Every structure is written in structure tokens, then in C-alpha cells.
Structure 1
């Protein structure tokens, strides 16, 4: 006999239902969305390197920096970004945060339309978010959305230079493109 469990209909139901399950999924607009679990080596390298660059420059007593195993509650549901920075919170048992400061997604052919479209729109409605970064895994290129002084989102900037900066309170984080893309892509490979 095939027994089907009831699918969740709210973010809280999803978090309880999803805990301990194998695979990767998100909860978007009332639906469970299966996600890719096998990424390319370059995708993995970029997410890991970005996470390390952030962790090297931010105080872990003030910020938590991690990869896609920890979720973020969004206006549309629950998502699991490739890299995220959140203020340090003492609740070590939480499954998600509602207050990310930085979110990054590494592009995959299957995720490109979502990362620039519905996912970007969802993330940009999170009140605490300061930066949304999309990283190409095929080209020496990133796209950065950031909030202006008036808390409005500025037009995304395509970055193909040597470095860019992110500001977290009094700390300026420098991300060097050469370090991020070493062995993956080079400025000469820009198209």
C-alpha cells in the first residue's frame, strides 16, 4: 500500500515536514518546490570561497555566515540560499532566519531565470536584506543589488572588476574577484 503524507500548506508546516528529509526543497507561494542537490564543482567552489571570504572578514560573535543548509523566511515562503549572512542569534535550534543581511546565489543553467526573476523579487522584499548577489559559475562576473541610503534598492550592478565591497555596520568586506574565480574563470574569459 502506498501511503502519502499530506503536503504542507504554510511555511511553519513546511519546516516541520521538511526537517530530517533527504534531498533539498523550498516552500514557495504555498507549494513545495524540489531543488537541485547535485551541483557542479565550480558552483560548490564559488559558494565555499564566498562563504570563507565573508567569514574571514566578519566577526562570528556578531554575524553567522553559512551555506545552503540553513533557510530564510521570505514573503513567498522559505528558501535556502547558496550563501547567507545573518546577525548572530542565540537560538541555535532555529531552522530559518527572518533577518538576513546578505544573500548570494550561484547561477546554474536550471536556476538562472529564477535567480534573476521570482527569487530575486522575493529576496528584495525582505526588510533586513542589504545585499543580493548573483554569481556566474561560467564567467568572471557577478551581479550585485544593494540598498541605497534611503533603503530603496539600487539598480543591480554587473561587476567584472577586480574587487567589490560590502558594508556591514562598521566593517567593510572586500571580495576580490581573482580569489573568487581562481581556476574557474579569468578576466580574459569575459564575454
Structure 2
């Protein structure tokens, strides 16, 4: 998400109003507390890491044999009535979404690749927002400069555990996936 708000309507809006508005808009947008934010164009390194994440998640889901589906960026995650984000990747388990769906309800894993302009939002508003959703078990923030993953994991009660990994495997249970950190940053 860009640091520049208000590329669209000047009035605050709900997620439902936002989704109707975005259908006719070029580019990608997110809604935070009723305000529209334009998403900046991504850099090549960002796109490469997102691609690797998508591939790694697809492979991990297949290897684990779990009834889950990976979605690349573009699917909306509704946090509350006035906030929705489009993560760089997510995993959702259970019944398959309808082909016409634009929202991914009940994501289990949410992933953001950090950009210079989004670091404060990814580590602040999005961290707090995603964990408002009881379905979210893991929130991964990938730092392309440091080649590390900040893994926030739901624990018992209202605790969120954080691990920073530059190597090794990430255990994403539930739903039972394993991701090698090196595969997320390695050149093909």
C-alpha cells in the first residue's frame, strides 16, 4: 500500500462500498479505516519474491495433501466493516471459493512482501488487522533486503509469537505446511 491516501472518493466508505467502487478503477487499492489507499507499482525484486512464494505455497499444499488453496495478490481480505487488504499471497482451507469471489474469507496464512513505502503498514496496521480475524494462524512478512521472514504465529489465548528466520524451515501448522526460507529468496 502506498503512503499516499485518497486516490479516489473523498468520503469515508465501507468495504462493501469500496468493493463496488474498485470494480471500475485502474490499479490496485486497499481500504484502511474507511480511507482509500493506492498501491504503488512493485519493483522487480518484489515481483520475483512473490512468484517464489506462490510456487512454494502451491508445492507445500500439494506435499501436505491438505484441502487448502493458495491465492496470489488480488484477493480481498475483509478485516472489519471499514478495512480490507490485498495481501501478496494467502492460503485458505476448506470448501473451494466460488469462481466469482473477490474476497477470501477465513484465510489461515497471510503473506506480505515488504516494500520501502509499506514497511510501517505491513508491520503495524496489517499485523493488527490480520490477527483480528480468528482464522488467521500465520502472518509472514518477507523482507527482500535482509532476505528474512518475520513469522507471526497465533499462540494460546491472545498471544502472538514472533520468529525471525533467515534460513531453515517454517512450520505453518495449522494447516500443516512446511516452507524452506531459502526457497522464498533463491534465484530460479
- Per the normalisation by structure 1, the TM-score is 0.83
Residue 89 of structure 1: CA displacement? 2.9
- 2:69 match: 64
1:81 paired residue number:
87
Q: Which runs of 5+ in 1 are unaligned?
A: 185-191
C-alpha spacing 1:65/1:143, structure 2 compared with 1 (3 Å): same
2:181 pairs with 1:174? no
Contact 2:54–2:72 (CA under 8 A) maintained in structure 1: yes
Q: SS of 1:132's equivalent?
A: strand
Partner of residue 94 from structure 1, selected from 94, 98, 101: 101
The 2-side partners of 1:151 and 1:97 are apart by: 25
State the partner residue of 1:103.
110
1:11 aligns with 2:15: yes
Q: Cα RMSD (Å) of the superposition?
A: 2.3
3-state SS of the aligned residue for 2:161? coil
Displacement, 1:63? 1.8
Matched, 1:41 2:11: no
- Tell me the alpha carbon deviations over residues 139-188 of structure 1, each in whole angstroms, 9 at most, x when there is no partner: 1211011112x25333311112222211234xx3221122221149xxxx
Report what 2:25 is aligned to. 21
Tell me the residue number matched to 1:189: none
Uncovered stretches (5+) of structure 2, i.e. residues with no partner: 1-7
Q: Does 1:126 align with 2:130?
A: no
Which has the higher relative contact order, 1 or 2, with Cα contacts under 8 A spaced 6 or more apart?
Answer: 2
The structural deviation recorded for 1:80 is: 0.2
Structure 1 range deviating more: 81-90 or 52-61: 52-61
Q: Deviations over 1:24-58 (max 9, x none)?
A: 1011111111111x211211111111111111121
Number of matched pairs: 177
Q: Which moved more, 1:26-35 or 1:154-163?
A: 154-163
Alignment of 1:127-142 (within 5 A): 127-142=134-149
**Which is higher, the Rg of structure 1 or of structure 2?**
1
